[in-house]
Structure 1
Amino acid sequence: MTYKLIAIDIDDTLINDNKEVTPATQTALEQAVAHGVVVTLATGRAYASAQTLARQTKLNVPIITYQGALVKNLLDEKVLYERYVPQEASRKLFDYCLEKNLHLQTYIDDKLYAREENQKLLDYAKLNGTQYYIESDFIKVIEQPTPKLLIIDEPDYLDQVAVELRELLGSEVHITKSKPYFLEIMHKEGTKGHALTFLADHFGHELSECIAIGDSWNDHEMLEVAGLGVAMGNAIPALKELADYITASNNEDGVKEVIEKFVLNAE
């Protein structure tokens, strides 16, 4: 099989634990592009955060952000695909989080907003290199279009919250975890799988000609639709179970291994 498009998650996949793309992986990305392969990112991060890394790695194609709720060009920043959380769901989620005293944050026009400054927000902003804004009257923010809302709490508790929210919000939203302590709510078509399907069609490629690489459960939709779904060596067990191939970890240039095996040295 000749693969023509590679979609790569960022955190714990493309970058190592030092938050870096290693020189070896960077070289592999450049070699894949030189072979005519479209290399893109597929991340839960905001576009502003993801595009910085994409430009550093010399990519110049549309990238998948907000778990798939936004696909945007790097060159002219044209929006190609966008899905907002339904307004009714946003309001229900706001009321639920207020009642449960849960930390809720969201993105408006690629800016991060929260109701109050706390350690959860500070840690998140540091992790993603993201500036944040405080709006005490948070309903003003909730009533604006957003690609993603995010709750931060303990993993086990978030598992319970997810069950309750799926019942409360229904089938119009997509709920997933990007990390054990991040519960994210998007439009039902705001998944990496939907976005990869769109992007493959945009470039005129079949999904069978696509490779998807990830480590967390929020990657499973794109691994399932791609012709080759790859789980990192450090991926969660559930993702490894459904993957077609398991590569090395993010600290062992796992992305480089995939590119070399299935693109550069493919027979």
Structure 2
Amino acid sequence: MTTYKLMAIDIDDTLINDDKEVTPGVQQALEQAVAHGVVVTLATGRAYASAQAIARQTGLNVPIITYQGALIKNLLDEKVLYERFVPIDAAVKLFEYCVEHNLHLQTYIDDKLYAREENQKLIDYCALNRTPYYIEPDFMTMVQKPTPKMLIIDDPDYLDELIPVFRELLGDEMHITKSKPHFLEFMHKEGTKGHALTFLADHFGCDLKETIAVGDSWNDHEMLEAAGLGVAMGNAIEPLKAIADYVTLGNNEDGVKHVIDKFVLNNG
């Protein structure tokens, strides 16, 4: 039986239920895992400011993986352990394409979200993630500042058509993924949850075989593949379930608690 030492958990549709809450059952399981000597961390596409609020609420006090893996930062002293910025030439190309094709693009600078203009996509996104936003009409100056992530919001099918276009336009220096069907996200090629999990395993002196990764969406696949035990939620997309080592219950049935009970506490 493997003794797991590090566990990375996605936030949206994984750690939290559809009411955006960490249930008492999941909270208790997190505390039990920590008491058991496991380092429990979060791995999310969210900005640090948004993720750390949830991490602090759960009592975690560790480095957390944010912006899909482009930023790992300590909760206690806010020290940056790992950071990868979008290459500026690629960011400029992406912005110019979005202007030409009337796509909504937002960027994150110093953990603040910026967009070129206010629209319903931005308002809905910020309501969903409980994030403030800033409007900067001179967006080209923002695009040339260091950013861990840029994000386009649009119709899921249209975004699927755009992925190969962007791969061609931006080359292999960018990591392109979807966190939700209508969110297309752009990071540095080493800004993945898989790279981040590998970094943290090394940081804490444990083998990747001793890690668990839990997620629900395609942006989780790199960390599920890197981890010793890759777990897909019951509500995960089918392609993620197909590559997972184990499929747990859904996010509304305390799926994370079930993983901790079974594989960390060994309660069946």
User: The TM-score by the shorter chain falls in which range?
Assistant: over 0.9
- Look up the match of 2:241: 240
Moved segments of 4+, more than 4 Å? none
Opposite residue 256 of structure 1, the aligned amino acid is K
Opposite residue 67 of structure 1, the aligned amino acid is Q
Q: CA deviation at 1:175?
A: 0.1
- Look up the match of 1:103: 104
Opposite residue 157 of structure 1, the aligned amino acid is Y
The number of aligned residues is: 267
Three-state SS of the structure 1 residue aligned to 2:118 is coil
Q: For 1:71 and 1:205, how far apart are their aligned partners in 2?
A: 17
- Look up the match of 2:86: 85
- TM-score normalized by the length of structure 1: 0.99
Is residue 203 of structure 1 aligned with residue 204 of structure 2? Answer: yes
- Look up the match of 1:41: 42
Spell out, residue by residue over 1:72-117, the C-alpha distance to the aligned partner (whole angstroms, 9 max, x if none).
0000000000000000000000000000000000100000000000
Q: For 1:166 and 1:140, how far apart are their aligned partners in 2?
A: 24
Opposite residue 236 of structure 1, the aligned amino acid is I
Spell out, residue by residue over 1:133-182, the C-alpha distance to the aligned partner (whole angstroms, 9 max, x if none).
00011101001000000000000000111110000000000000000000
Spell out, residue by residue over 1:37-89, the C-alpha distance to the aligned partner (whole angstroms, 9 max, x if none).
00000000000000000000000000000000000000000000000000000
Opposite residue 251 of structure 2, the aligned amino acid is N
Three-state SS of the structure 2 residue aligned to 1:261 is helix
Is residue 162 of structure 1 aligned with residue 186 of structure 2? Answer: no
Q: CA deviation at 1:126?
A: 0.6
Q: For 1:11 and 1:179, how far apart are their aligned partners in 2?
A: 9
Three-state SS of the structure 2 residue aligned to 1:234 is coil
Opposite residue 205 of structure 2, the aligned amino acid is G
- Look up the match of 1:19: 20
Q: CA deviation at 1:266?
A: 6.0
What's the RMSD between the two structures over aligned residues?
Answer: 0.7
Is residue 255 of structure 1 aligned with residue 256 of structure 2? Answer: yes
Q: For 1:125 and 1:229, how far apart are their aligned partners in 2?
A: 30
- Look up the match of 2:126: 125
- Look up the match of 1:76: 77
Q: CA deviation at 1:22?
A: 0.2
Seq. identity, % = 78
Q: For 1:143 and 1:29, how far apart are their aligned partners in 2?
A: 40
- Look up the match of 2:150: 149
Q: For 1:265 and 1:219, how far apart are their aligned partners in 2?
A: 24
- Look up the match of 2:176: 175
Unaligned runs of 5+ in 2: none
Q: CA deviation at 1:219?
A: 0.0
Three-state SS of the structure 2 residue aligned to 1:147 is coil
Q: For 1:4 and 1:266, how far apart are their aligned partners in 2?
A: 17
- TM-score normalized by the length of structure 2: 0.99
Q: For 1:162 and 1:118, how far apart are their aligned partners in 2?
A: 23
- Look up the match of 2:187: 186
